[in-house]
């Protein structure tokens, strides 16, 4: 496949190496300082764009590719208020858009475990629930996209929990899941969910040891998305 990398930072580089090792060709590696290369690209030869840039650049990158009819696999976090616009563009241009806050298989199993545990805890009113995420200090957004997906799983599963807030937010209430974001190098991504009561605590966690799981997931999804149309997620890709 011919792959366009939109964003060539920590993730773009690992994705590029992995894609080449699987026999793919990288058509261009686009960063903030070489966006003019997009003008010279043969768009018809690109099978998929993989977009890992930064919150304030994601929408522009994604909409550029979708308007050219190029399927997009995006992992950038911190820009999702604009996803309805991307979904409309995807339909209007008859192409495909795939978003995941986390591409690793392990985290997607963890998402399911989180929902299952939330279901078990729905009537256990003596437990409070909280979330902690730990990432490297270069991360631009907080909380992480993964933490937001986890919080949404808890909100779906426990009726008394209605929203999420940063743990230091003055608007936090008993109906909120508090999220604590810590920035410690070189943490690639750790997420912890805690249910605490006077009697005992229950804790589940996922710790990424490197970025390889995120990158492999993005490449596998890119291979899978060829010839597909519409808005796609990890639930479409994974069989569990
Ligand atoms: N969904 C997932 O599984 C994962 C998501 N992420 C997310 O992916 C994003 C990228 O992460 P990293 O590679 O670690 O960040 P990074 O900071 O190492 O790289 C971001 C790159 O985007 C480039 N960029 C900035 N503006 C641009 C523009 N207008 N056009 C094209 N490129 C532009 C920068 O030059 C930089 O090289 C972040 O939002 C992060 O949260 C990271 C890991 C896994
Ligand atoms: O910025 C990162 O590094 C990561 N971002 C994603 C997120 O915000 O959840 C996924 C992963 O945790 C690494």
Residues 113 and 93 in one domain: no
Give the residue carrying structure tokens 């010279």. Answer: 40
Give the residue carrying structure tokens 């993005």. Answer: 218
Of ligand 1's listed atoms, the one at least distance from the Cα of 214 is 3
Q: What are phi and psi of 116, to 5 degrees?
A: -65, -45
Give per-residue pLDDT as tens, 23-57. 999 999 999 999 999 998 988 899 999 999 999 99
Residues 19 and 93 in one domain: yes
| pLDDT category of residue 12 using cuts at 50, 70 and 90 | very high
> What pLDDT was estimated at residue 65?
97
What is the domain range of residue 153?
A: 105-207
Task: Give the separation between CA 219 and CA 99, rounded to whole angstroms.
Answer: 13
Residues 117 and 156 in one domain: yes
Kindly report the three-state secondary structure assignment for every residue of 27-61.
EEEECCCCHHHHHHCCHHHCCEEEECCCHHHHHHH
Assign 14 to helix, strand or coil. Answer: helix
> What pLDDT was estimated at residue 240?
84
The active-site residue, picked from 43, 68, 136, 139, is: 139
List the residue whose alpha carbon is closest to atom 1 of ligand 2.
139
Query: Are β-strands 190-196 and 128-135 bridged in parallel, bridged antiparallel, or unpaired?
Result: antiparallel
Active site residue 25: no
**Residue 226, domain CATH:** 3.40.50.720
> What pLDDT was estimated at residue 148?
98
> What pLDDT was estimated at residue 109?
98
> What pLDDT was estimated at residue 135?
98
List the residue whose alpha carbon is closest to atom 2 of ligand 1.
102
Are 24 and 32 within 8 A, CB to CB?
no
Residues 109 and 187 in one domain: yes
Give per-residue pLDDT as tens, 180-235. 999 999 999 999 999 999 999 999 999 999 999 999 999 999 999 988 999 999 99
Task: Give the separation between CA 177 and CA 94, rounded to whole angstroms.
Answer: 38
Out of 4, 5, 6, 9, give the residue to mutate to test ligand 1, the one with the largest number of ligand atoms within 8 Å of its CB. 9
Are 138 and 101 within 8 A, CB to CB?
no
> What is the Å distance from ligand 1's center to 54 Cα?
4
Are 5 and 16 within 8 A, CB to CB?
yes
Residue 102 reports pLDDT greater than 90:
yes
Task: Give the separation between CA 108 and CA 201, rounded to whole angstroms.
Answer: 23
> What pLDDT was estimated at residue 85?
97
Residues 218 and 189 in one domain: no
> What pLDDT was estimated at residue 223?
98
> What pLDDT was estimated at residue 194?
98
Residues 128 and 197 in one domain: yes
Active site residue 135: yes
List the residue whose alpha carbon is closest to atom 12 of ligand 2.
189
> What pLDDT was estimated at residue 238?
96
> What pLDDT was estimated at residue 180?
98
> What pLDDT was estimated at residue 43?
87
**Residue 159, domain CATH:** 3.30.360.10
Give per-residue pLDDT as tens, 131-166. 999 999 999 999 999 999 999 999 999 999 999 999
What does the DSSP 8-state code read for residue 210?
S
Residues 109 and 200 in one domain: yes
Tokens of 221: 């999804």
Residues 115 and 48 in one domain: no
Domain count, the chain: 2
Task: Give the separation between CA 84 and CA 6, rounded to whole angstroms.
Answer: 20
Out of 31, 72, 107, give the residue to mutate to test ligand 1, the one with the largest number of ligand atoms within 8 Å of its CB. 31
């Amino acid at each position: 496949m011919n792959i366009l990398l939109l964003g060539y930072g920590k993730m773009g580089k690992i994705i590029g190496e992995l894609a080449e090792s699987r026999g793919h060709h990288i058509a261009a590696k686009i960063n903030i300082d070489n966006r003019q290369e997009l003008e010279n690209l043969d768009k018809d030869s690109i099978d998929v764009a993989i977009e890992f840039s930064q919150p304030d650049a994601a929408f522009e990158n994604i909409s550029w590719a979708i308007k050219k009819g190029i399927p997009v696999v995006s992992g950038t976090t911190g820009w999702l208020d604009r996803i309805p616009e991307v979904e409309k563009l995807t339909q209007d241009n008859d192409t495909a858009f795939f978003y995941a806050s986390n591409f690793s298989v392990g985290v997607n199993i963890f998402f399911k475990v989180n929902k299952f545990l939330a279901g078990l805890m729905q009537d256990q009113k003596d437990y409070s629930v909280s979330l902690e995420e730990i990432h490297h200090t270069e991360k631009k957004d907080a909380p992480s996209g993964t933490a937001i997906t986890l919080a949404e799983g808890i909100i779906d599963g426990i009726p008394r929990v209605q929203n999420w807030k940063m743990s230091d937010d003055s608007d936090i209430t008993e109906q909120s899941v508090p999220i604590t974001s810590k920035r410690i190098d070189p943490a690639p991504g750790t997420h912890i969910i805690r249910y605490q009561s006077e009697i005992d605590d229950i804790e589940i966690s996922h710790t990424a040891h490197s970025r390889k799981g995120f990158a492999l997931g993005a490449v596998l999804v890119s291979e899978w998305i060829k010839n597909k149309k519409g808005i796609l997620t990890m639930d479409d890709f994974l069989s569990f």
